[in-house]
Each structure stands twice: as C-alpha cells, then as structure tokens.
Structure 1
C-alpha cells in the first residue's frame, strides 16, 4: 500500500506492506475513542486501521490509521483492503500453517502416558510428569525416541525449576507431597542410563520437604537475595525460604484461605 499526499506526487510519503513474511495483517473497520482520544466522534466513524502482528518474533507490530472522506468511501476501502490481504495470505497458507503445527512427540500403544506437565531440562532433553511417574525424552530423536523413566517417583503433577539453587521441584504421589532434586543428578542418571541402553535410571536421590501433604500448586523464585517457594494447599498457602545451611526450604509464614488454592 503506497500513501501519497497528492495524486500528482512522484513518490509516496509512506508505505504499508499488506503481505510481509511471518506476519498477520488485519483490517479494523471499528476504532474506539480510547485508541484515538484526540479525534472527534464524527471523524472517528470514517477511520480504519491496518495492523501488522509478527508471528515468529517478539518484535512489535505496526499500526496505520487511515481516514476516508466519508463513511461510504471507508466501507469501500475496508472491503478492498480485506480482499487484498485475504488474497495474499491464501498464497501463504502452507507456510503459515507450518508455523503453528509441529509434533514433538507421539505416544501410542504401550508407550502412551497420561501426561500432566513438562519442563525443558536443556536444549535436547525434556522432563515429562505423568500419572505413571517422571520421564525424560530427547527431542532430537524425533517421534520415535526412547523415553527414559527416572526411577523413584510415582505420579508427578507439577515440575518447577529454580535456577538460583539449580533444583528441580516436583509435586508427586497420591499424597501430593513436594520433593526437590539436584538438576545435575538428573543429568548424571540419564547419561548413565543412555550409556547402558536402559529404559530407566537408577533411583534418583531427592529430598522430601516435611510438613507438606495435599499440595495443589506451587512455584519458586529468587527474591531480595533469597530463594522462596510458595505452596498452595486446600485451606492455606505456605511461604517457605531456602536455608543454605540446612539445604532445605523452611516455613516462614502461613496464610489461611477459604477454599482450594489453584
């Protein structure tokens, strides 16, 4: 789309690409007063908006507002622009569909797991928390990868990683207790299992945090120089801080709630 001030101008003052790669383009016919607060309501009825929204990057999109001389002209412009954008995007259907659909892992038959959560352990390895336990898969092996079970854990409901301590934290078992694992130990056990061509590792050492039963959700992060964990339970929320001397999370505060914490 080329924009000129006058029909006789030799070059445009601006351009707007209606079909940039890896980008959604949308034509908006209705503009709210919040978007253009300095525009009168009578003029706002004649304004349309073109918007570019990148699909594959975090770069900001672009917005262009246009005002027609009257409402009838605006309707014609909107119809023409929508038709042009639709025609361009139709030719790009295969590329656009491919960006949204990619199968990382297929679990069928005896390999099927009831998955609850996942965590990217590194560029190649992903932890899978399932009703059957804790597993690890190497994505570079594709859909037919051999899944390695990390022995020592029953049902795994949630996986959280706190980088300041290099700890993996799990909600596990029917009792929904909380345990911590040194991330380096997981890597070590997986390497041992792979070198021996085993489908499961030796038992992985872990620490059970005392006093937590029935955890529904939890999270952990570093804040003000300390490492904290928040644990949600049926009727309370626990705030815990990591004690480097005891090498464990210790209770700092209890907040009572009126219902289940999700």
Structure 2
C-alpha cells in the first residue's frame, strides 16, 4: 500500500512540473513557433538573389546618369550666360560673307542611323506643307455646365432642337449649347470661330471619308465625299459617294472619274416644289435605324406645293458631327442660292405667308428671353443682360428707351392683372420677384437720363424656377403656379397682405414644360399631364408625355390642344 502511494505521489509531482513549465501558445507562437526553435535549412532563393543584383546595378546606373545630367545643365547654363554678355552683331553686312563650308560626307546607312523612307518616296514641298498644317491643333475643351434650358435652342453637335425646360449642357466660356450626350462627342474647339474650326478639322483628317469642298475639276461641284444612304426598306445603310452640285445631288457607287455616270440624280430645283434641309430626323421616319446612328442623319425634303406634284426625300448619314455640320451648311447655302435665282422652284408664289409684328430698329446684342406690353406704346424686354424698356410705334418698330436697374438675367415676366403686380424670374439662382405694375410702368416710361430703377420684393420660398403661370377661379381667387426642376408650387394671392402665400406643392419626376389655369383647375405638363382641382387640391394624371399646351381661343369656353409625344423617348 505504501508503495502504491509513493508511485502516485511521484506521478502527481511529474505532472505538476509539466504543467508549470507548459506555456500557453499565443498568435506569435502559432505563426513563428517558439523562441528557442531555430529555422534550420532556410536559404534565399536563387532568383531572388539575381533580382537583388539587378536592382543594385540599376541604382548605380541611375546615380551615374543623374550626375552626368547635372554636369550638362551646368555647362548649358554657363554657355547661355556667355551668350547674353556677347553683343549682337549688326544686321548690315560690313564684312564679306564667308563661303559656305563643303557638305560633310554622308555616313553609310546602318540600322542605327538609317531614316525610314516615307511611302511614295521622298517628301515633296506639298507634302511637307500639308504635314505642317496637320500639326496645327486647337485643343481647348469646353467647360460644360448641365442645367435646364430656359428657352428653346439648337444643339451644337447633332443640330437637333433642345426643347424648353429640358436638361442640356452649356459651355461657360463660348456659350455653346448641346444635348448632354452630344456634348461628350464635340471636338475641343472652345473659343474658335466656326470657319477656322472647319479648316483645322479638314487639315487634321486628310484621310477622312468626307473631303469637304470639291477637289475635282468639275466647276459645278460644291462638296463631295463618302456618306451612307438607306436601302429601299430603310433597314440597312450602304456607303455611297455623294457629289453636291449647284442644283442637284449625284450618287455614285465609287469615287467617280471624268467618264463615270451617277447611279442616281436628285434635283434640288424642281418646278412647283419647295426644298428643305432638315438637320434632324424623327425616330418615326426611320424606326429600324439604331438610336446611336440617328443623331448623324440629315434629310433633304423636296415637297410638292400641289397635290399632283412629285415629292422626294433624301436621307444621308455622316460619320461625325463635324461632317454633318459641313454638309448641312453646304446644302442650305445651295438651296438658298436656288431660291434667289430666277426660274427656280422657290420663285413661285409662296405657300407660307408670315406677317412681321415687331422689329428692332437696329441690330441688338441683347439675348432676349421675354417681352410684355405696358400699354400700346411701351414694351418691356427681359434679357440675359437685364431689364430694358422700348418705345413701340404704329408700324411695330421697337426703339430703345432706357435700361431699368434692379434686376439681372431676367428669364420671364408675368403680369397678374387681378392682383395688380408683375412677377419676374431673374438672377443666377432663378428667384421669383414681384413688383407693383404701376411702379414698373413709371420706370418703363422714364428716359435713360433719369436712370430708372425698381425695387422688387422676393416671393418666398421659391427658387430655381423656370416657368410661371397665373389664373383666377370662379370664386374670384387669384392663384400663381411656379415650376422648378423637380416640383411645382401653388400660391394664392392675399389681398390684405398684398403678397402670394404658398398653399400646396407637388413633386415631379421630370421638369414641368407647360402650365394652364382654368376656372376650376390647373393643368400641368411634366412626365405626364396632371389636372389639379383648385378647391380640393386633388390631382389626377394621364399617360401622355407632354410637350406643350396651345390655347386656341381666349373666350370663356376656350379650346385647349394637348401636344404630346407618342413615339418612344
């Protein structure tokens, strides 16, 4: 028994010593082992040693090159200082000219000093001149700023229309306006005149399919180049060589020679027809054409003025915006010359007649946005430069009277006769201001020597607005609606306070493009047409994509035409 106790005691002591010497492993021990453990047999890989040797060699080479560069810079600086101290020689030759040294013998051509020979042999003076012109580059990118279009315009890229209250990109420097997608494809020609930009574009792309002005010997050819025309089913486009003459468009399958006959000839001077050049083509006319190619298509429409005449349409697709602009300009100039010539189709009686209502007495530099009449002889014009008053004579001629201080960058002027106030959208932030009509009329009738000015009051909390409208209900209440990029606000006129007060507002997915008040409701055109009841402010919507509203009559029972866009956006 005593022997068993002694053995168990020894076992307990042994286990206790083991527990005292055992140390808990941490993350370091698990990753790298214990401190007393030696990594036996570890050696650096052979490839790693070679990389280290190469790195050391490159470092030494870099150090040597830096020293040589510093010495060369010091020597060059010393030579420039010596040349500054040396007086410049006189331009008048006082001594006889020294003879030219004999030409040095040419070295044998080796792979080190051999120059590549251009294709076609040695360069001629003409080739050298064209290459020097090709090096002329103008690369000043536009500084585009995206925002709502406050008035309709034309895209500088695809030459399409930019509707009112639609997002567009405008250059802050040169003022060009373009669609947001088209602005990314325009060349960097900010601040460059259009004619000079076209000249540089032709020199910069000598191998372009569009050759610009005719290089052939035909004196009647105005422009020629490779374009694309649709097939009979308008699903595919074929490359054709187009030659624009002074009265027709010739179509060839290949680049013509002096004996080549055209495949087709489209006359631009048909009797009894009117010729129109359209820079944009709607999707409905070419439904099978890709939407990516649609901005590069232009159309020449020859339409008969009578029902029995023959009409024709010519679709052309260019490769870029510069080429499209050149062709549209050339076609428009040819059509304009034909309309002025004797015996042309444009010399027939006009089938569109227009009456001139207003005319400025002299060319004006104002960027006009809106105009209102304060009587029969006074008109107020809101422009980007500010607010101006004009005198209107019996013939409709506008004569400048004075500039009215107090507002800048006037976008819209709205007269509210029932409230006796005038509303303005002005300023860089498109804020809404109001002023009494009597004060505005007094300032508009004043002459420039008196320096007329107004003190408008801001309508809170409106900002960022682009469209105003007002109306009166059957109950005699006067409402005003202000549209911004993502909302519309309805305000009611308070007679006692003599101001507009906000009563309701709605959010829209698209900017509002048209507003119209009836005697009981408000019609709003945003992503679709809405009708808001002015008594309960309940709203109902349709599924048409609106463009504008046309008021046909101003009588009590007027007719409103809804202009919508049915085709896909």
Q: CA deviation at 1:106?
A: 4.2
Q: TM-score, normalised by structure 1?
A: 0.57
Q: CA deviation at 1:201?
A: 3.5
Distance 2:398 2:505 in 1: 46
Q: In structure 1, what is the equivalent of residue 488 of structure 2?
A: 237
Q: CA deviation at 1:235?
A: 1.0
Match of 1:226 among 465, 477, 489: 477
Q: CA deviation at 1:147?
A: 3.3
Q: In structure 1, what is the equivalent of residue 369 of structure 2?
A: 116
The reply to whether residue 203 of structure 1 matches residue 453 of structure 2 is: yes
Matches within 5 A, 1:176-191: 176-191=430-445
Q: In structure 2, what is the equivalent of residue 160 of structure 1?
A: 414
Q: CA deviation at 1:220?
A: 1.1
Q: In structure 2, what is the equivalent of residue 260 of structure 1?
A: 511
Paired residues of 1:190 and 1:201 also in contact (CA < 8 A): no
Q: In structure 2, what is the equivalent of residue 214 of structure 1?
A: 464
Paired residues of 2:359 and 2:398 also in contact (CA < 8 A): no
Paired residues of 1:155 and 1:172 also in contact (CA < 8 A): yes
Distance 1:125 1:257 in 2: 38
Paired residues of 1:148 and 1:200 also in contact (CA < 8 A): no
Q: Which runs of 4+ in 1 moved over 6 A?
A: none
Distance 1:249 1:239 in 2: 9
Aligned CA RMSD, in angstroms, stands at 2.9
Paired residues of 1:146 and 1:199 also in contact (CA < 8 A): no
Q: In structure 1, what is the equivalent of residue 390 of structure 2?
A: 137
Q: In structure 2, what is the equivalent of residue 61 of structure 1?
A: none
Runs of 5+ consecutive residues of structure 2 not aligned to the other structure: 1-306, 309-348, 514-569
Q: TM-score, normalised by structure 2?
A: 0.27
Q: CA deviation at 1:186?
A: 1.6
Paired residues of 1:104 and 1:139 also in contact (CA < 8 A): no
> What secondary structure sits across from 1:146 in the alignment?
strand
Matches within 5 A, 1:40-59: none
Match of 2:500 among 245, 249, 260: 249
Distance 1:247 1:144 in 2: 33
Q: CA deviation at 1:237?
A: 0.7
Distance 1:162 1:144 in 2: 24
- Measured against aligned partners, the alpha-carbon deviations of 1:6-59 in whole angstroms (never above 9, x if no partner) come to xxxxxxxxxxxxxxxxxxxxxxxxxxxxxxxxxxxxxxxxxxxxxxxxxxxxxx
If you compute each CA radius of gyration, which structure gives the higher value, 1 or 2? 2
Distance 1:154 1:165 in 2: 24
Higher strand share: 1
- Measured against aligned partners, the alpha-carbon deviations of 1:90-148 in whole angstroms (never above 9, x if no partner) come to xxx69x95x6235521452xx42000111112111111110001111001297572331
Distance 1:106 1:131 in 2: 20
- Measured against aligned partners, the alpha-carbon deviations of 1:165-194 in whole angstroms (never above 9, x if no partner) come to 121111111110111111111222234x32
Summarize the Cα distance change of 1:144–1:167 in structure 2 as closer, same or farther, 3 Å threshold.
closer
Paired residues of 1:169 and 1:179 also in contact (CA < 8 A): yes
Distance 2:444 2:375 in 1: 13
Distance 1:259 1:144 in 2: 37
> What secondary structure sits across from 2:442 in the alignment?
helix
Summarize the Cα distance change of 1:140–1:200 in structure 2 as closer, same or farther, 3 Å threshold.
farther
> What secondary structure sits across from 1:186 in the alignment?
helix
What is the aligned residue count? 169
Paired residues of 1:149 and 1:199 also in contact (CA < 8 A): no
Runs of 5+ consecutive residues of structure 1 not aligned to the other structure: 1-77, 80-92
